[in-house]
């Protein structure tokens, strides 16, 4: 039986990382990009301290139904007005040690991005780390638009090729045990954690956290991508990001996945999915589009029509039958969530929830996870008087 060193009475509350290093055990829930980052951070911390941590890594599945598999992977820090999210994005843009250390640096490509608009001016959010210059949309074969702003920084991660390979690498790290198992609710998670001999569990279950933790702040935001053959896409669509600023980036962006060999056309549709029955309905169409809900078919056709209107040069790549598709749910919340589940619900086992990243997962994950794992679990007194303080809501 695993011996867990006891904490001194009256000691300062521990962070998730500190508890994992003391007990040498931790449970992580979720096989999306945040879950990968958490496992890697725990492994790396144990290696630096010469105290290897045993990690039980649990998820319902590891396949293309996970949002990270279909994410467009575009990292552009200015897209959020939340100062904390912008700070996480800037830190994450500068370095992503997990990818470089594990040999996946080639999947991250620095890229130029262009915002297009039919309005008289293009107003970009403050905070872009590079330079912005005004361009002529006609030079970009986008004569439908009247204004263009070219941004010289940002990056793209070829997510759909990266994620299966990254999973194989992370699951084979020393001390990591990957388990495909459905966790019904918080009580089930507490039982699994206790059986493993851990005192802490980190939940990065994406949109499923609304069921697992009963957290109604998390919602599934429907998004859809058309995947067209990169070799059939003319310049400049094959090398830069194009975004329709007039539609708040919904269903009209073009993002090249060079390592995957295709260009992602589409985006978030703004439809929220919150009922278990809707989840089951959506999954039917992933393998057979004829079984998808009507709104999926309508969104797919709407993207194609809009793209052909705005970017006629994409016509050959968008011929019927020549493109594939992906759709799924992004874990949307008003703000990113990094907080401990109250002791009244979790008891002596600490449950840390990291989520609500929506479309910012590949933009802020490195810095967000790093800070989240260093968040101290509130004492009972703090919870009683202040509720559930989080980095996203505290000053």
**Per-residue model confidence as pLDDT tens digits over 140-195:** 888 999 999 998 878 899 998 999 999 999 999 999 999 999 999 999 999 999 99
The domain boundary, picked from 331, 349, 377, lies at 331
Domain range for 320 is: 114-156+219-331
Query: Are both 197 and 320 inside the same structural domain?
Result: no
CA distances from 352 to 15, 340, 362 (A): 10, 4, 20
Please, which pLDDT band fits residue 11 given cuts at 50, 70 and 90?
low
Query: Are both 172 and 259 inside the same structural domain?
Result: no
Residue 260 placed within a domain: yes
CA atoms within 13 A on the CB side of 348: 7
Query: Are both 235 and 300 inside the same structural domain?
Result: yes
The domain boundary, picked from 315, 331, 347, lies at 331
List CB contacts of 306: < 8 A, sequence separation 6 or more.
Answer: 251, 252
Q: Based on the number of CB atoms within 10 Å of its own CB, is 169 exposed (0-12), middle (13-18) or buried (19 or more)?
A: middle
Averaged confidence pLDDT in the chain? 87
Query: Are both 196 and 292 inside the same structural domain?
Result: no
CATH number for the domain harbouring residue 233 = 3.30.9.10
Query: Which pLDDT belongs to residue 172?
Result: 97
pLDDT tens per residue across span 236-248: 889 999 988 887 6
Query: Are both 296 and 322 inside the same structural domain?
Result: yes
How many domains does the structure of the chain reveal?
Answer: 2
Query: Which pLDDT belongs to residue 44?
Result: 97
Q: Is the pLDDT of residue 231 over 90?
A: yes
Query: Are both 227 and 327 inside the same structural domain?
Result: yes
The domain boundary, picked from 316, 331, 346, lies at 331
Query: Are both 43 and 132 inside the same structural domain?
Result: no
Please, which pLDDT band fits residue 75 given cuts at 50, 70 and 90?
confident
State the pTM of this model.
0.91
Residue 339 placed within a domain: yes
Query: Are both 253 and 298 inside the same structural domain?
Result: yes
CATH number for the domain harbouring residue 198 = 3.40.50.720
């Amino acid at each position: 039986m695993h011996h867990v060193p006891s904490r001194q009475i009256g000691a300062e509350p521990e962070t998730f990382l500190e508890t994992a290093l003391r007990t040498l055990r931790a449970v992580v829930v979720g096989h999306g990009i945040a879950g990968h980052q958490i496992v890697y951070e725990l492994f790396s911390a144990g290696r630096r301290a010469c105290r290897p941590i045993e990690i039980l890594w649990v998820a319902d599945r590891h396949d293309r139904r996970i949002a990270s598999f279909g994410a467009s992977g575009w990292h552009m820090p200015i897209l959020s007005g939340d100062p904390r999210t912008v700070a996480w994005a800037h830190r994450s843009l500068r370095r992503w040690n997990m990818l470089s250390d594990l040999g996946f640096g080639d999947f991250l490509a620095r890229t130029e991005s262009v915002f297009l608009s039919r309005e008289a001016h293009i107003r970009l959010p403050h905070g872009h780390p590079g330079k912005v210059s005004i361009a002529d949309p006609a030079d970009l074969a986008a004569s439908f638009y009247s204004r263009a702003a070219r941004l010289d920084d940002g990056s793209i991660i070829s997510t759909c090729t990266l994620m299966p390979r990254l999973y194989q690498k992370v699951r084979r790290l020393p001390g990591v045990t990957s388990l495909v198992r459905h966790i019904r609710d918080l009580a089930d998670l507490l039982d699994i954690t206790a059986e493993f001999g851990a005192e802490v569990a980190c939940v990065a279950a994406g949109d499923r956290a609304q069921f697992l933790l009963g957290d109604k702040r998390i919602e599934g935001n429907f998004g859809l991508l058309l995947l067209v053959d990169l070799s059939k896409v003319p310049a400049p669509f094959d090398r830069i990001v194009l975004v329709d600023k007039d539609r708040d980036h919904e269903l009209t962006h073009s993002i090249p996945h060079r390592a995957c060999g295709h260009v992602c056309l589409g985006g978030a549709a703004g439809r929220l999915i919150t009922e278990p029955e809707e989840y089951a309905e959506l999954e039917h169409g992933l393998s057979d589009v004829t079984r998808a809900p009507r709104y999926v078919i309508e969104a797919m056709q709407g993207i194609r029509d809009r793209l052909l209107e705005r970017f006629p040069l994409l016509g050959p790549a968008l011929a019927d039958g020549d493109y594939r598709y992906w759709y799924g749910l992004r874990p949307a919340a008003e703000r990113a969530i990094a907080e401990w589940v109250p002791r009244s619900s979790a008891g002596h086992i600490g449950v840390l929830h990291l989520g609500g990243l929506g479309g910012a997962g590949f933009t802020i994950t490195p810095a967000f996870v790093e800070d989240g794992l260093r968040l101290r679990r509130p004492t009972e007194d703090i919870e009683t008087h202040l509720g559930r303080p989080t980095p996203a809501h505290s000053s």
